[in-house]
Structures are given as structure tokens and as C-alpha cells.
Amino acid sequence: MLRSAATAMLLAGLILPACTADEPATNNSADLAARPFDVVVPASYDAQQPAPLIVLLHGFGSDATAVAEYFGIDALAQQRGFLYVVPTGTPDAAGQPFWNATDACCDLDGIGPDDAGYLSALVEQVQADYSIDPKRIYFVGHSNGGFMSYRMACDHADQVAAIVSLAGATWADPAACAPLQPVSVLQIHGTADGVIAYDGGAFAGHVQPGALANVETWATYNGCSSTFTTTDGALDLDTSNAGAETSVLAYTGCPAAGAVELWSIAGGAHSPALSDSFTASLVDFLLAHPKA
């Protein structure tokens, strides 16, 4: 059913043919020809007006079609006028797609794909093919895709304006990440997440930080103050909880291009039942935080 939906979009002309590099990629060991991807372009696209780009990353064992359906991103792309790409990770020994993000997640077989290099080269290829605003390139990921979004902010801070991680985490060791410049970060996490625990823990035997530790670390990277504001019941993001169940924690004193927020979904699971306003709210965050 999910794949038939993607096929329908292709026939409707909303998904352009896969982009591949004409020559071997020079960004680390990235090979775009071996890992093609689709670019979705809104009907309002005008090559004379540089548009934002969102790269959406799936979780462990998921794929591009499933995560696009989960976030419901296509309708928003048409409304807001941004391009988006939904690549698929490398299959592991069991055929489960994954991203090689941090020491905690999720190259469980030690295959070692250079996913940071691949995704950086992917962005460069889309920039070569379409009119993309270099100040508005964003990554969004669920679970393993959230880990990978943090990896991109660490390794390619000059390329990435902001990220959103749903149920993901950054490196447990802050010294493992050295962003060259601020990147705006939004961590969204359910307090009842039974896979990547809200308060931190271990995944597949590897330690991962909790939701608050994630944003504390990035507030330090970005040069924010140590203080923050909190607003309870600010957002309604999860349809399995009645009313506005999500609190918003926002660090103060951050640079304009380095905002740091934590949206905590009270009682939210690892894969929350996303409300109609969920993706719109995170896209609002992204578009409000371009590069300086």
C-alpha cells in the first residue's frame, strides 16, 4: 500500500527521476550512482527563487516510503514550497536498512558505510540540479534517522542549517562531535519511549544520552546560556494523548542560527501517533532557523 502511494505520486509527476552523479563522488567514499534517490519538487518551484531543502531519514529497518508516509511530508512540501529527499540506508546482514550514525546506532554488523559522506554528497548533487537556498538545508529523522541527523550536524555543520530528531540521540561522548559552526537543533521525544529511552540508557549494548542531555550538549556546542524556559502543554503532537500533551524547553542566549529546543511528548511512545499539526510544527521550526 505504501509503495503504491509512492507510485501514484510518481505518475502524478510529483517525484522527479532519481538523481545520480555523472562521475564518482569525491566526498569521502560516497557513491551516489550505487545509491540513487528521488527528489520531490513542489508545483510552485521556480528556479529563479532558491528553495529550502529537507532530507528526511528513516529509522532502523524502515525505508524511504514508510517514513515519508509517517511524517506526511508531501502535502506540506506543496504548501510551503520546499524540496525534499527521502533516501534509504544500507541493508545490514538481515536486510534491514540502517544509517551508520553514532557508536550507539545503528551499524550493528560493523559494515561501515560512509553515510555522512553519502548524505553530504547527496545534498551537493541536489544543489547542482536545482535552485536550493544554501542557508536553508535541513535534516529530519526518526529513531536511527534522528541519530544520523545529529551526525550530519556534527560532521557537516557548514552545510546543515537545522535538524529535527524524533526519538534519536547525539553522541554519548560530547568530544566525539566537533561542529564547525552552530546548527539549530530540535529534539522531540516521548517520555514513554521503550526503545530509545527518554532518560537515556543503552541500545544494543551501547550507551546513548537522554533527551535532556542531548539538548544540553548542543546548547554548549552552540554557545547558548545555561538557562532555559519551559512551557507545559504547549503543543498537541500525539493523537493517543488527549489535549496538548507536549512541553517545550528552549535554551536562552543562543545565536540566531543555533537555537536549541526539546519537545517532550508526555506518555509518547517511540513512534508517536502523529497529529495533523506535528509535521507542520517541526517544519515551522526549521524554516524559522536558516543559517546566519
Query: Hey, which bits of the chain come out as E strands?
Result: 15-19, 37-40, 51-57, 83-85, 90-91, 97-98, 132-142, 162-166, 184-190, 201-203, 206-208, 228-235, 246-251, 260-265
Q: Indicate whether 144 belongs to any domain.
A: yes
Residue 112 has pLDDT above 50, yes or no: yes
pLDDT in tens, 20-48: 333 333 334 457 888 888 899 999 999 99
Average pLDDT, the chain: 90
Q: Which of these ranges, 61-70, 159-168, 198-207, has the smallest mean pLDDT?
A: 198-207
Supply 106's cell numbers. 545503528
**What pLDDT score does 33 carry?**
82
- Inside any domain, residue 140: yes
Residue 149: inside a domain: yes
Q: pLDDT band at 5, cuts 50/70/90? A: very low
- The CATH number of residue 207's host domain is 3.40.50.1820
Whether 193 maps to a domain, the answer reads yes
Assign 3-state DSSP to the chain and report helix, strand, coil percentages, each to 5: 25, 25, 50
Assigned domain for 292 exists: no
| Residue-range definition of the domain harbouring residue 137 | 2-287
pTM: 0.89
Provide, rounded to the nearest whole percent, the portion of the chain with pLDDT above 90. Answer: 83
Task: Report the domain count for the chain.
Answer: 1
Residues 186 and 281 sit within 8 Å (Cβ to Cβ): no
Question: Is the residue at 218 inside a domain?
Answer: yes
Span 165-214, pLDDT tens digits:
999 999 999 999 999 999 999 999 999 999 999 999 988 788 999 999 99
